[in-house]
Structure 1
Amino acid sequence: VSEETLKIKQANLTGEVLEASSRGRVNNSTIASRDTEDGSNDESTSNHATVNSSPGKKGMVLPFVPLSITFDDIKYSVDMPQEIKAQGVAESRLELLKGISGSFRPGVLTALMGVSGAGKTTLMDVLAGRKTSGYIEGNITISGYPKKQETFARVSGYCEQNDIHSPNVTVYESLAFSSWLRLPANVDSSTRKMFIDEVMELVELSPLRDALVGLPGVSGLSTEQRKRLTIAVELVANPSIIFMDEPTSGLDARAAAIVMRAIRNTVDTGRTVVCTIHQPSIDIFESFDELFLMKRGGEEIYVGPLGRHSCELIRYFEAIEDVRKIKDGYNPSTWMLEVTSATQEQMTGINFSQVYKNSELYRRNKNLIKELSTPPEGSSDLSFPTQYSQTFLTQCFACLWKQSLSYWRNPPYTAVKYFYTTVIALLFGTMFWGIGKKR
């Protein structure tokens, strides 16, 4: 066992990492380790954790249907803001996405990247059905069938960038609440508990089962642990497709590696996982299988595999004339954003979006979209017998259970609420005392 792996084992005492090596989840190579020919890393190589997980975590107590998602010529626009119109702009709409096409497949971890203003979060929100305003054009299919938000919401999960959890419940209770409301009604209590235990093991939260979530930066879970809890809250709904908005933002290299290992374990179950990511380290970046790269203005400029040590990505861009070569040991994600920036486009006169659309890679992707947009033989469209997983009464009871726990574990807050209620009752009672039916 290497020295860095030994450090990871020692970190288990803090409850942040499972005894992963004994479970076959951690190998001897660490997140910071690279072949010597790759040169130095721009991140510190001390005290890092591994990203790679061993395959074989397929069988879980609750089955799910692996689903692919394809989108072809997606356009998204909003009404032109008044401040822009005041500058003399004649158009009535502001186009944020300009004919985006691609596909996300089961068991493939895709990074959605681009500079600020490229539209990566906008694209993910459009695909997830979280855009309730604006104008959406184009075709979105789920395993060959047109996407319907009513059914898509039942088979998908969305991990937001900000981790919002109830502070006065435990990790297990947070997952129990989510699974209670979102799993089908025919899943019995014992099966649901077994599934929660499996999910906690998958994202390495089992040692924190009875820990209170707490307030961020004050008490309870650390930022990295809260990120993993956010992933687990979505996983216990047993989704086939999961969207994650910058899951490693605000984390140091070691914490980001632990979160990425949880994401990798999720992908290894056969689910479709898409992550927006911002300024990843070399090892975090190379833990992804495919890259969906966008430029400012809402256009894609590379959609394809990364390859070992990002060789496919590097080969593609270095083949373009006037694009500078990457230096040994330089971060490929930083390099690609630099050489495809708007400034470089102006200096070199290269339209990277047009270069991509004229490439063989684009034609292969269009053929793949066409193939995945055709329903497999013998398959059927998504359908559910009821609009919601649980009845109205069950939803009310679940919310009452969680809120009761929160009040019970926060006596000062509950006492103040009782005090205010009593004072207001006495105040109004005194104001109207003896009036009766005099009016």
Structure 2
Amino acid sequence: MSRIIAENNGGGHVLDAATGDGTPVCETSVDVTKLPSMPFLLSFNHLTYSVKVGRKMPLLTGGGRTKTLLNGISGVARDGEILAVLGASGSGKSTLIDALANRISKGSLKGNITLNGEVVESRVLKSISAYVMQHDLLFPMLTVEETLMFAAEFRVPRTMSKSKKRTRVQALIDQLGLRNATETVIGDESHRGVSGGERRRVSIGVDIIHDPIILFLDEPTSGLDSTSAFMIVKALQRIAQSGSIVIMSIHQPSYRILGLLDRLIILSNGQTVYTGLPTNLSLYFSEFGYPIPEKENKTEFALDLIWELEGSPEGTKSLIEFNKKWQSKNSELVRLCSSLKEAISVSISKGKLVSTSTAMVPRFANSFWKEILVLSNRSILNSRRMPELFVTRLVAVLVTGFILATMFWQLDNSPKGIQERLGFFAFTMSTTFYACTDTLPVLLHERYIFMRETAYNSYQRSSYVISNALVVLPGLITLSFAFTTITFWAIGLNGGFSGFLYYLLIIFASFWSGSSLVTFLSGIIPHLMLGYPIVVAILACFLLFSGFFINRDRIPAYWIWFHYLSVIKYPYEAVLHNEFDNSTECFMRGIQLFDDTPLVTIPNAMKVRLLQSFSDVLGTKITSSTCFSRGVDILRNQGITDLSKWDCLFITLAWGFFFRILFYFSLLFGSKNKRT
């Protein structure tokens, strides 16, 4: 293990770092005392990280056993070079990348990570680094240029003009080899777009738009053919040569890709089995006793050998010990000459975009209102190019409205008509909520994009929540107007034009509340397969306790709290108020009293004589025109007496805002990018 003496303005910070190739850290010249400073040197020492596993029933299992994912990993990475972390699945590659990128909680990670001998604050690290995830998370209907331009709006300092941002985007397009795909949309399963390799390069471009000093990548060549993978690493080489530290994990590089890598760290079960230059692999394994055949792929041979050793009784213990001896034998004293601030100044002089004052790095590149504007523009642009999503929702609402209108055509005010109206209202209110569930896949996809972008302070969570709410409003208004127009007049609902307007408002409030509920659930549901069952189950419970299937007065005391939590309760009661809250209108007269009895089939004359008999017995005059049930009586029978129709409307709207607030907190606490 080498000793690196870091002298920052006369200070003497002593750092451990494994070089493993016999070269100094600052330069490759032999006389290290006369070397100019290397602008950036990332050093990580004795990184150890453990997690608890088997904790499904911690009270019975005692908390589970501890599994060590990283065990004393050390190394260095320099600007102008690519450091590749190799290993089989489960070896700790991604965990090491996460540790270096500050994506593991400091309380869980042991060891130290420094840049030019200094521990970098999390806020500063976010501004000078970038992390490219393994999966491409992009808006499918934006072009390559638009995608990078929106990234520039979020990440590039606000002091930079629009023209300079565009210049930066064009330069990055050339650097990544995307010139021929500039005007091509990203695409997805349903829309043809760029190739897989181009999509991966766009993902890289989105994260390096601010020209970071350090670039972390989690298996950027995963899932690509050999040519696309080579082009990715070739682009990363150009990025490194522009003055960045590039650290990437890779499963098994080809011979051509190996020639582009500058340094390797090979892991096995969280421990280092090799650190050094790719060219030293043959010598290393030869001295270990397993010479690599001349025409064999070096990394393929190394990984196969490690896999065989892992399956042996002793495992890779002998190789780990040999690596320690190798590093000790091939290490030298080197001198680190520049402080982090000085190195950043040098980097800026080369054209980097990071701020010279790392202590004054702004947390966000834009103001709050500018963030909302840019987020809304991006979402609208992407949605406008996928009209089939909204058209499908609109057609579904129109078809549902048409079926309901023809099924409940011109209901009368008879007792049966009243019951049919109650059924229509219950079905309508539940349908407005269920109709919002089809946005769940889009919301989940956007949440993953949100997590990637906010990991490095692209924008504030509150800006995203407000933008999301504003963007959906026009669509909800359109759906509400379409459904209301079809059903209100066709079914013959009461209230005239004022009743129509209120009905429109409550339908909109229901769509708004349902959309907000699904949006909130998208912030806490882990993946789509669980999404639909959870949403459907929650809405089914809300409908059950809405007051339609069982009146409020008959709900058991231990369930009454759920009745008041039911989101469907309030719009359901609102439309009943709108329909029946009229003390002058009668819904059951005279002979209609017999409609729900076995006497319904007798002649009307006989019914009139029976009413006269009732009059004689009761001492009250009862005729065929006597009113037995008014709207207020129906509301009372349904248990709807404690809230007015305006109270119900405001509460329904308030539920929507409440769910948006919960959505914000779900993003704040549930969409973390760090491991615990």
TM-score scaled by length of structure 1: 0.75
- CA-to-aligned-CA distance 1:273-325 (integer Å, 9 cap, x gap): 111111222111222111011112x1112111112xxxx111011111xx322
Q: Measure, in 2, the Cα distance between the counterparts of 1:92 and 1:158.
A: 31
TM-aligned CA deviation for residue 92 of structure 1 = 5.5
What amino acid maps onto 1:150 in structure 2?
A: R
Bigger drift between 88-97 and 271-280 goes to 88-97
2:262 to 270, 289, 308: 289
Say which SS state the counterpart of residue 146 (structure 1) adopts: coil
Give the Cα separation in 1 of the matches to 2:318 and 2:136: 38
Indicate how the Cα distance of structure 1 residues 74 and 87 shifts in structure 2: closer, same or farther if over 3 A, else same. farther
Question: 1: CA distance between counterparts of 2:304 and 2:185?
Answer: 43
Counterparts of 1:133 and 1:79, CA distance in 2? 16
Shift of 1:326: 1.6
| Cα deviation digits, residues 256-289 of structure 1 (max 9, x gap) | 2222221222122121111111122211122211
User: Counterpart of 2:135 in 1: which secondary structure?
Assistant: coil
The 8 Å contact of residues 341 and 358 in structure 2, kept in 1 or not, is answered as no
1:414 matched to 2:385: no
Residues 137 and 363 of structure 1: CA distance in aligned 2, closer, same or farther (over 3 Å): farther
Corresponding residue for residue 606 of structure 2? none
Instruction: List runs of 5+ in structure 2 lacking aligned partners.
Output: 1-37, 345-356, 395-474, 484-506, 511-570, 582-642, 648-676
Aligned length: 365
After the TM superposition, which residues 316-335 of structure 1 pair with which residues of structure 2 at under 5 Å, given as runs? 316-320=284-288, 323-335=289-301
Structure 1 residues 261-410: aligned runs within 5 Å: 261-296=234-269, 298-307=270-279, 312-320=280-288, 323-341=289-307, 342-343=309-310, 346=313, 351-360=318-327, 364=331, 371=335, 375=339, 382-410=358-386
Shift of 1:358: 2.0
The answer to whether residue 134 in structure 2 is matched with residue 158 in structure 1 is: no
Task: Give the conservation status (yes or no) of the 8 Å contact 1:67–1:241.
Answer: no
Superimposed CA distance per residue, residues 373-408 of structure 1 (whole angstroms, 9 cap, x where no aligned partner) = 983695688323422222222211110110121122
The answer on whether the counterparts of 1:216 and 1:223 sit within 8 Å (CA) in structure 2 is no
8 Å contact kept, 1:76–1:134: no
Question: Does the Cα contact within 8 Å between 1:168 and 1:214 map onto a contact in 2?
Answer: yes
Cα pair 1:338 1:344 within 8 Å, conserved = no
Contact between 1:70 and 1:103, CA under 8 Å: does it hold in 2? yes
Distance 1:350 1:420, change over 3 A: same
431 and 92 in structure 1: CA distance in 2 versus 1, 3 angstrom threshold: same
For 1:235 and 1:78, locate their aligned partners in 2 and report how far apart those are by CA, in whole Å: 31
Range with bigger deviation, 277-286 or 165-174: 277-286
Aligned AA for 2:376? L
**Paired position in structure 2 for 1:142:** 115
Aligned-partner residue type, residue 328 of structure 1: E
Q: Is the 8 A contact 1:408 1:414 kept in 2?
A: no
One-letter identity of the residue aligned with 1:254? T
CA distance in 2, matches of 1:116, 1:198: 36
Change over 3 Å in CA distance of 1:255–1:212 after alignment to 2: same
Which is bigger in relative contact order (C-alpha 8 A, separation at least 6)? 1
Question: Does structure 2 conserve the Cα–Cα contact (< 8 Å) formed by 1:171 and 1:209?
Answer: yes
Residue deviations 1:213-260 (CA, integer Å, cap 9, x gap): 111575111111101111111121211111111111111122222222
What is the aligned partner in structure 1 of residue 67 from structure 2?
94
Is 1:203 the counterpart of 2:181 in the alignment?
Answer: no
Measured in 2, the distance between the counterparts of 1:351 and 1:187 equals 55
For residue 359 of structure 1, give the secondary structure of its aligned residue in structure 2: helix
Task: Name the counterpart of 1:53.
Answer: none
Q: Which has the larger radius of gyration?
A: 2
Question: 2-side partners of 1:164 and 1:204: how far apart?
Answer: 20
Structure 2 residue aligned with 1:174: 147
- Which residue does 2:208 correspond to in 1? 235
Q: Distance in 2 between matches of 1:191 and 1:282?
A: 39
- Identical columns (%): 25
1:303 and 1:362 in contact (8 A); partners too: no
Task: State the Cα distance separating 1:133 from its structure 2 match.
Answer: 8.5
TM-aligned CA deviation for residue 343 of structure 1: 3.8
Q: Which amino acid aligns with 1:129?
A: N
Deviation of the 1:426 alpha carbon: 8.7
1:414 and 1:362 map into 2 onto residues whose CA distance is 66
Cα gap change, 1:141/1:108 in structure 2, threshold over 3 Å: closer, same or farther? same
Question: 1:82 aligns to what SS in structure 2?
Answer: coil
Runs of 5+ unmatched residues, structure 1: 1-64
Contact 1:144/1:373, CA 8 A, preserved across alignment: no
Closer, same or farther: CA 404–151 of 1 in aligned 2, 3 Å: same
Query: TM-score, normalising length from structure 2?
Result: 0.50
> Which amino acid is 2:302 matched to?
M
Moved more, 380-389 or 102-111: 380-389
User: Counterpart amino acid of 1:304?
Assistant: G
Contact 1:70 1:373 in 2 (8 A): no
Cα contact 1:145–1:374 (8 A) shared by 2: no
Residue deviations 1:8-57, cap 9 Å, x none?
xxxxxxxxxxxxxxxxxxxxxxxxxxxxxxxxxxxxxxxxxxxxxxxxxx
Q: Deviation per CA, 1:38-85: give whole Å up to 9, x if none.
A: xxxxxxxxxxxxxxxxxxxxxxxxxxx953321111111123433798
- 2 CA distance for matches of 1:349 and 1:230? 36
Change (3 A) 1:207 1:66: farther
Q: State the Cα RMSD in Å.
A: 3.1
User: What secondary structure, in the 3-state scheme, does the structure 1 residue paired with 2:291 have?
Assistant: coil
**Inter-CA distance 378–191: structure 2 relative to 1 (3 Å threshold):** closer
| CA distance in structure 2 between the aligned counterparts of 1:431 and 1:256, rounded to whole angstroms | 63
- Partners of 1:406 and 1:280 in 2: how far apart? 36
Report SS of the residue matched to 1:351. Answer: helix
Question: Where do 1:56-71 residues align within 5 Å?
Answer: 67-71=40-44
Point out the structure with the larger helix share: 2
- Counterpart CA distance in 2 for 1:349 and 1:130 is 28
Residue number among 419, 422, 425 corresponding to 2:508 in the alignment: 425
Match of 2:51 among 48, 59, 78: 78
Give the deviation of 1:421 after TM superposition: 4.4
Task: Name the SS for the 1:96 alignment partner.
Answer: strand
1:223 and 1:265 map into 2 onto residues whose CA distance is 20
- Alpha-carbon separation, structure 1, partners of 2:508 and 2:315: 73
Q: Report if aligned partners of 2:117, 2:339 keep a CA contact under 8 Å in 1.
A: yes
Question: Using the alignment, how far apart are the partners of 1:84 and 1:306 within structure 2?
Answer: 46
